[in-house]
Amino acid sequence: MGDITKRQHYVWRNYLKAWTVTKSTTGRLFAAHNKNEQWILLGKNNEGFLVGINNVAVGNYFYDTTQASEEDYYYTRLYLKKRFNELFPRYQLTANIDNLRSTERDFLEKIYISQVEKDGIPFLEKLVQGDFPFNEQSKVVTLNEKIQKDIFMSLIFQEEVPDRCLEAIEALNELERGGDKQFQFYEFLSVQYLRTKFAKNQVEKLQKLDEKIKKMNVTLAFHFFTLPIDAVTLAISLVKNNFFIKMLINKTDVPFITTDNPAINLMHNYNSEAEPKELIIYYPISPTISILCTNTIHSNCKEEIFNRHTIFEFNEKMVVSGAAQVYSNDKDYLIQLLNIK
């Protein structure tokens, strides 16, 4: 078995650096922690309450799958067959799930998330500069549907797979080599949406309360095994349903904050058990830029915000959306927002 990393971050440090004083992955920011429904500043008074981002949004063995049961492997295979076709080469780590028994038990962070985030660095850099991460629409959905239809018809009529299908498969392989920026960015965004402590806690809650899941006898390992499938499924859905990016430019003196649950659904009431019927992903990029991923627009666009109250509303939504830690570049504003005594 490969060595398991003990301290595992569930919010990307490359992302958090936009809120640090030095704008670096070794930088420090202001952070508050929710303890018994009371917000308290992290850090020390003699250090100005600045905290290194290496010490926030981190848990011991957060992605460890050592507890994986036979049921986890069994249902992962079923899930794969039901939800995902195996034409994407990079996802064979999930398709060959049995190989993980003797290799990396925290494979999700080391093999999948690290690669997605490495690919995501150029996207994040563009966003921080106020540029869009993609301009052309993805072809992944139409290509994927075309492949499935052609293969299905060839099986029915016992014909060879047509050349146009083979061409589409090659196009998908080209996508995997980095040729489809919209799909790649949406996969990156989906991972940020699904990898958090809040998402993990929700899965744990379901495992205790949902009778069907309880009967499956799966552990948290099932959530980690299937997260790559869920991320790609969500990314495909965003493309298929014509989601685009609205970039919010903050022109006020109130900063955007972020949390350890950095990508949220604005249409979700996080204090309710009811499932949201709509999806608008909100993702702060820096104290001055945030994005909305939504299908209420027809192309990428920008909106300048001059109203401080609007920024307050976005920040308050972040705080009540399952956050255990809140981060800012402004200590005084953090104290005001969270009513810290």
Averaged pLDDT of the chain: 80
Q: What's the rounded Cα separation, in Å, for the pair 140 and 99?
A: 28
Residue 147 lies in a domain: no
Residue 16 lies in a domain: yes
Nearest in space to 340 (alpha carbons), one of 37, 1, 8 = 37
Strand, coil or helix: 254: coil
Q: Does residue 325 sit within a domain? A: yes
In a domain, 144, yes or no: no
Which amino acid, 313?
A: E
Q: Is residue 263 part of a domain?
A: yes
148 in any annotated domain: no
| Domain membership of residue 276 as a residue range | 7-138+180-338
Q: Of the candidates 65, 116, 68, which has an alpha carbon nearest to the alpha carbon of residue 90? A: 116
Q: Residues, the chain, total? A: 341
Q: Which token pair is 162? A: 């047509």
pLDDT per residue over 286-339, tens digit each? Answer: 999 999 999 999 999 999 999 999 999 999 999 998 889 999 999 999 999 999
Provide φ and ψ at 152, rounded to 5°: -60, -45
pLDDT band at 15 (very low <50, low <70, confident <90, very high): very high
CA gyration radius for the chain?
21
Residue 126 has pLDDT above 50, yes or no: yes
State how many domains the chain has.
1
SS (H, E, C) 126-180: HHHCCCCCCCCCCCHHHHHHHHHHHHHHHHHCCCCCCHHHHHHHHHHHHHHHHHC
Instruction: Collect all residues with Cβ–Cβ distance below 8 Å to 297 and sequence separation of at least 6.
Output: 244, 246
d(CA 171, CA 167): 6
Residue 61 pLDDT greater than 90, yes or no? no
Q: Which of helix, strand or coil describes residue 258?
A: strand
Per the domain annotation, does 175 fall within a domain?
no
Calpha distance 277→281 (Å, rounded): 13
Q: What angle do CA 218, 223, 228 make, to 5 degrees?
A: 140
Residue 219 domain-assigned (yes or no)? yes
